[in-house]
Structure 1
Amino acid sequence: MAELYQHRARKRFGQNFLHDAGVIDRILRAIFPREGERLLEIGPGQGALTEGLVSSGAQLDVIELDKDLIPLLKLRFGLKPNFCLHEGDALQFDFATLGVEPHSLRVVGNLPYNISTPLIFHLLGHAGLIRDMHFMLQKEVVERMSAKPGSGHWGRLSIMVQYHCRVEHLFNVGPGAFNPPPKVDSAIVRLTPHDELPHPAQDARALDRVVREAFNQRRKTLRNTLKNLMTSEDIEAVGVDPALRPEQLELADFVHLADRFAAMNTLQAES
């Protein structure tokens, strides 16, 4: 009966439906879902991954925004006792409402390219609930997430994701695995929230502010990019050379700068 529902991928939702059985199997083996686990799939689409996730015996929640896909998903999986469908926007979803134990939720998704970065930042805000995340993303986004200092891909996304998670670029996926085929290559990434942050900041919001300012003009030196937040003397005070460009700094350097910035704001508020 699923053939009754013919759904055309929508450009406004950034939809590219996965159909390659070999790629689907490889993703499922990377996730390795098991009975008793709690999984959340974002954007199940036509259910390419959903079938394997439900069959694993894990409790599966899915979030789907496209109302035209809801009948298909209900038809295929609605009677499964371990399947729960949430209609809505994952960017607005409060993951705490799932009632999961800390560090237990496993998140999966073939994420639309147009919302992947803001959605990942939204999920990082709930990192304490999450055991791991497996995403299909634009290859360039995965390269930015897994980048190292000194590379052209090192930037705000790399730093903020690596602050919260261990990043593994698992494998690449060509356009032919999708319908319609995208114009770019894709990749599978695994994000595993740290049990303990390797470089904890006094205030994660201060870290995000410093990193955002630093990379607004990434070719300029820190003394120029951070001039609205701190002086060259403040930068030097934490052992960082203000003549460096932001892409030359390690994660720990940005945390030191953020702690300095947070401390300065605290002193100003108290004076």
Structure 2
Amino acid sequence: MKRYPPAFPPAYPSSTAGKHVHKKQFGQHFLHDPGIIRRIVQAIAPRPGERLVEIGPGEGAITLPLLREHGHLTVIELDRDLIPRIQAASAGIGKLDVIHADVLTVDFTALAAGNPLRLAGNLPYNISSPILFHCLDHADAIVDMHFMLQKEVVDRMAADPGSKVYGRLSVMLQLSCSVQPLINVPPGAFNPPPKVDSAVVRLTPLPPERRHGADPALVARIVRHAFGQRRKTLSNALHDVVSAEQISAAGIDPRVRAEQLEPLAFVRLAQTVQAG
């Protein structure tokens, strides 16, 4: 088995020396467990010629092993105090391109420029869902995504219909991607430790021929209303969007609840509404 050097050098140049103060507003919990880091890099398995982009490199726990494996990496970092530290730590390892920005403002399609991206990152848990939906908006420019998230979120992403945690996030992600939980990560693998368990998940956007043809905005609206009040039947939850007659015309019992429907059932509802 290949051995990895420490996640980052033991010392920084004087301009970046000193311990970084973790910022709660950025949701910073830095991974430090070498065994977990090794498993993540092995799961990503970077290959020559690929465009790798890491969201939130932090202090470089995943960044530097990926650089050693691949030689070229783009990172997106919002905390300007971390940028000189990661630049210093990566010196001599490989080519590191740094984008100082909020990831929610980054146009991944433009960044890809025709060469699809592979995304990775330990996402800030306080805005993980908006980041996921932002990435889905650029699915045609993305090969796959390997993200560290709160385990509860990963469980919801991969949940099956009928599960207590099956909901809007499950449906919207599964309509666009295959969802594969990979690694469970305990709080002690981070500094500072979060108050929750974490997990790494692989998201692979579905090829165009496997994606639904309904209006994405309409599907999203139907799903949002359907799960807005989980205890209501579909006919009650969707009365402002889809009539009981249209629900029946889509081959669905208006008396069932949203969590009982597979993701493609919401597509059928949207297609029925579109058909008038």
TM-score between both structures, scaled by the size of structure 1? 0.93
| Aligned residue identity for 1:172 | N
Q: Does residue 234 of structure 2 align to residue 222 of structure 1?
A: yes
- 1:212-251 matches, within 5 Å, as 212-251=224-263
How many residues align? The count is 263
How far did 1:59 drift? 2.9
Of the candidates 182, 189, 193, which is equivalent to residue 177 of structure 1?
A: 189
Give the conservation status (yes or no) of the 8 Å contact 2:234–2:255: yes
- How far the C-alpha of 1:153 sits from its partner, in A, is 1.2
Which of 122, 138, 145 lines up with 1:126 in the alignment? 138
Structure 1: segments with no counterpart, 5+ residues: 265-271
Q: Is the 8 A contact 1:159 1:251 kept in 2?
A: yes
Aligned to 2:53: 40
Equivalent residue in structure 2 for 1:255, among 255, 267, 276: 267
Report the Cα distance in structure 1 between the residues aligned to 2:92 and 2:103, rounded to whole angstroms: 23
| Aligned residue in 1 for 2:106 | 93
Q: Distance in 2 between matches of 1:216 and 1:5?
A: 47
Residue 197 of structure 1: CA displacement? 5.1
Cα gap change, 1:97 to 1:79, in 2 (>3 Å): farther
Name 2:3's counterpart in structure 1: none
Q: Retained in 2: the 8 A contact 1:36–1:58?
A: no
Q: Which amino acid aligns with 2:43?
A: A
The offset of 1:154, in angstroms, is 1.0
- Alignment deviations for residues 190-230 of structure 1 (CA, whole Å, 9 cap, x no partner): 00011135351321111100000000001110000000012
State how far apart, in whole Å, the 2-side matches of 1:112 and 1:199 are: 28
User: Structure 2 stretches of 5 or more lacking a match?
Assistant: 1-10
Matches of 1:210 and 1:197, distance apart in 2: 23
Q: Does 1:62 align with 2:43?
A: no
Asked if the contact 1:35/1:59 (under 8 Å) is kept, the reply is no
How far did residue 53 of structure 1 move? 1.0
Whether 1:13 and 2:26 are equivalent positions in the alignment is: yes
Cα distance in 1, alignment partners of residues 160 and 210 from structure 2: 16
Moved more, 71-80 or 205-214: 71-80
Q: For residues 99 and 204 of structure 1, what CA distance do their matches in structure 2 show?
A: 22
Is residue 145–residue 162 contact of structure 1 (8 Å, CA) maintained in 2? yes
Q: Are 2:71 and 2:93, in contact at CA under 8 Å, matched by a contact in 1?
A: no
1:85-141 Cα deviation digits (max 9, x unpaired) = 000100111112324435x31000100100100000000000001111000000000
Whether the 8 Å CA contact 1:199–1:255 is kept in 2: the answer is no
What does residue 208 of structure 1 align with? 220
Find runs of 4+ consecutive structure 1 residues off by over 6 angstroms.
Answer: none
User: SS state of the match for residue 161, structure 2?
Assistant: coil
CA-CA distance at 1:261 after TM superposition: 2.4
Residues 36, 59 of structure 1: 8 Å contact kept = no
1:115 aligns to 2:122 (yes or no): no
1:24 and 2:19 aligned? no
Which position in structure 2 is the counterpart of 1:152?
164
Q: CA deviation at 1:81?
A: 5.4
Q: Which residue does the alignment assign to 1:135?
A: 147
Kindly state the Cα deviation for residue 51 of structure 1 after the two structures are TM-superposed.
Answer: 0.4
1:195 counterpart (200, 207, 214): 207
SS where residue 82 of structure 2 aligns? helix
Q: 1:78, 1:84 within 8 Å by CA — same for their partners in 2?
A: no
Q: Secondary structure at the match of 2:162?
A: coil
